[in-house]
C-alpha cells in the first residue's frame, strides 16, 4: 500500500513542478493591455487649478464646482468638522 502511495505522490509532485515551471516561464512574456492606461501628469506645484483637479478626479469642471458648492453649504451648517471631511481648497483673487 505504501509503495503505491509513494508512486502516486512522486507523480503528483512532478506534475506540480512542471506546472509551476510553465507558469514561471509565462511571467516574462508581456501581457496585452486591452485598455490604454491614462497617465495624468501632476506638476511639482503644491496647488492645482480647478480644471486640473477635475481631470485628476475624472469629472467635468462643472461637476467639481457643483461638488464644492454642495460642500460649502454643508460646511456652513456645521460648527466644527474633521479636517479632511471636505475637499480642502483656497480661493485666490486675481
Instruction: Put residue 31 in one of left, alpha, beta given phi > 0 → left and psi -120 to 50 → alpha.
Output: beta
Q: Does residue 37 lie within any of the structural domains?
A: no
Which residues of the chain carry a pLDDT beneath 70?
1, 28-38, 40-43, 94
What would you report as the CA-atom Rg of the chain, rounded to the nearest whole angstrom?
Answer: 28
Instruction: Quote the number of domains for the chain.
Output: 1
Angle in degrees, CA 88, 53, 79, rounded to 5: 20
Predicted confidence at residue 9, as pLDDT, reads 92
Predicted confidence at residue 33, as pLDDT, reads 55
Domain coverage including residue 59? 48-94
Q: Does residue 23 lie within any of the structural domains?
A: no
Q: Does residue 7 lie within any of the structural domains?
A: no
- Dist CA 58 CA 6 (whole Å): 59
Angle in degrees, CA 53, 33, 17, rounded to 5: 130
Q: What is the mean pLDDT of the chain?
A: 82
Q: Does residue 16 lie within any of the structural domains?
A: no
Amino acid at each position: 500500500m505504501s509503495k503505491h502511495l509513494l508512486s502516486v505522490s512522486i507523480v503528483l509532485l512532478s506534475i506540480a513542478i512542471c506546472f509551476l515551471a510553465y507558469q514561471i516561464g509565462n511571467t516574462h512574456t508581456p501581457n496585452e493591455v486591452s485598455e490604454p492606461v491614462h497617465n495624468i501628469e501632476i506638476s511639482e506645484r503644491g496647488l492645482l487649478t480647478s480644471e486640473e483637479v477635475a481631470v485628476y478626479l475624472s469629472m467635468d469642471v462643472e461637476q467639481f464646482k457643483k461638488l464644492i458648492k454642495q460642500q460649502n453649504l454643508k460646511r456652513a451648517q456645521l460648527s466644527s468638522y474633521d479636517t479632511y471631511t471636505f475637499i480642502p481648497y483656497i480661493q485666490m483673487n486675481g
